[in-house]
A and B are shown apart, each in its own frame.
Chain A
């Protein structure tokens, strides 16, 4: 289970040029707002097309500008937890969770609903609608939904940023359990050093569209890049 990224994209006057590898465990993308962290996740997910470069996950090439490979997002098996949740408002929690699961070929499934419901404590929420969930519950469902696609890599884009301190504390243990449970790489975007200290095995420091430093120590130096 490995992941390699070496891409470049131009967004108006802003340019993102990044390269890093990720193994099993949590790789944090750490940096100030506007550093290009979400753009990096969007390129991995296939939502944003790099102008040049290569993305390989678990030995499968998802993008290669030289070989003209560009797998569409629906073919990448990249689990993506968005900052704003993006649960489907017209579907129950259960249907949200299984939306992606049902589309995964049976022989490729390695994550199953009972396991996810257990891991994320969702059993009491299954028949509810997203509108009736708290922010923290919504993010747990969003994590479960992404996880149930049996992804090659799991992307989390500041999943706690929209939550208050109490909700963050509520969801953190689930993220820690997830990190210990999952064998595929997790890319965790954040600008909160405390979150990263608790979760990350590696920290990729990003600023102004560039990787400025990679460290294996879990604790980033506060203030260095922000």
Chain B
């Protein structure tokens, strides 16, 4: 049962690549948003929060469709990107990474925000009285203390990206080797006669990878907590 076909490996590699790039790309933005939501009040804060959380509650196909309208070759952003930078993301794996990042962003921001909320700001005040300016206090106190949440956010977003289906297939379609990630490959296999056995194989592999990611995050977090305690 476990002789994995080259096409399956291709889908797995692609899903990992899409997941990694989507997390790496959205991490700075996600942290910035989480920090801003946690620490500041600003105009349209609730509206911006709602927009970021929208992919969580919208049908994924609607998110994908919106991305297609925006980033398609005739969409305003897609036209801008291709005219100014010569970049096209619709129907490319980069587009799959963008779709995955947007679907994962609410999970990432939520986990990070909770951990930044939990940092005792009086510790930052203490750091200031010890001679640390804002940046130093941020880098030596706030950032390390919110690290478990940052990690949890990154892992959640990776898991979401690895398995994203609806928005991805709507936005970048189902192109073998380019946009056919693991869930889309499973879907394709199920559409063809006799595809059930290989589909189960891929399904098991995706369960293993997702489980490993979550367990890994848990282990790192526990080690971090143990270090803090002792």
Of the listed stretches A49-57, A77-85, A116-124, A185-193, name the one at the interface; the rest are far from the partner chain.
A77-85
Q: Which residues of the other chain, B, contact A145 by a CB distance below 8 angstroms?
A: 130
B13 within 8 A of partner (CB)? no
Q: Is A89 an interface residue (CB 8 A)?
A: yes
Check B133–A131 contact: CB distance below 8 A: no
Complex Cα gap A96–B225 (Å): 18
Chain A positions within 8 Å of B144 at CB level: 90
A47 to chain B minimum Cβ distance, whole angstroms, is 6
How far apart sit A88 and B126, CA to CA, in the bound complex (Å)? 9
Q: Does A149 count as interface, using CB distance less than 8 angstroms? A: yes
A86:B126 contact, CB within 8 angstroms: yes
Contact with A along B128-145 (1 / 0, CB 8 A): 111111001000110011
Tell me the dominant secondary structure on chain B's binding face: helix
Report the bound CA distance from A115 to B129 in whole Å. Answer: 21
List chain A residues, Cβ under 8 A from B228: 89-90, 129, 131
Asked if A103 and B122 sit within 8 Å, CB to CB, the answer is: no
Would you give the 0/1 interface string for B211-230, flagging 1 where the beta carbon is closer than 8 Å to chain A?
A: 00000000000000001111
**Residue tally, chain A, CB below 8 Å to B:** 29
Are B122 and A74 closer than 8 Å at their CB atoms? no
B203 at the interface (CB under 8 A from A): no
CB of A174 within 8 A of chain B?
no
Chain B nearest CB: distance from A148 CB in Å?
Answer: 9
Q: Is the CB of B129 within 8 A of A131?
A: no
Contact B127 A78 (CB under 8 A): no
B46 at interface by CB-CB < 8 Å:
no
The answer on a CB contact under 8 Å between B132 and A103 is yes
B125 proximal to A (CB < 8 A): yes
Taking CB atoms, residues of chain B closer than 8 Å to A104 are 131
Over the window 99-122 of chain A, the binary record of Cβ atoms lying under 8 Å from chain B Cβ atoms (1 yes, 0 no) is 110011000000000000000000
Contact flags A131-147 to B (C-beta < 8 A → 1, else 0): 11000000000000110
Give bound CA distance, A74 to B134, whole Å.
9
A89 to B229, CA, bound (A): 8
Contact A99 B130 (CB under 8 A): yes
Contact with A along B151-186 (1 / 0, CB 8 A): 000000000000000000000000000000000000
Q: Which of A90, A100, A131 makes the CB contact (< 8 A) with B130?
A: A100
> Are A82 and B141 touching (Cβ within 8 A)?
no
Residues of A within 8 A of B145 (CB): 89-90
- Say yes or no: is B51 at the interface (Cβ < 8 Å to chain A): no
- Inside 8 A of B48's CB, which chain A residues have their CB? none
In the complex, how many angstroms separate the beta carbon of B40 from the nearest chain A beta carbon?
19
User: Please, which residues of chain B bring their CB within 8 A of the CB of A77?
Assistant: 131
Cβ of A45 < 8 Å from any Cβ of B? Answer: yes
B123 part of interface (Cβ distance < 8 Å):
yes
- Rounded to whole Å, the gap between the CB of A206 and the closest CB of chain B is 21
| Chain A proximity of B202: nearest CB distance (Å) | 41
- Contact assessment for A47 and B128 in the assembled complex, using a CB-CB cutoff below 8 Å: yes
Q: Is A73 an interface residue (CB 8 A)?
A: yes
* Chain B residues within CB distance 8 Å of chain A: 120, 122-123, 125-133, 136, 140-141, 144-145, 227-230
The 5 closest A-B pairs by CB, nearest first: A100-B130, A103-B131, A73-B128, A86-B126, A80-B129
9 contacts between A and B (CB under 8 A): A72-B133, A73-B128, A86-B120, A86-B125, A103-B130, A129-B227, A131-B230, A145-B130, A146-B130
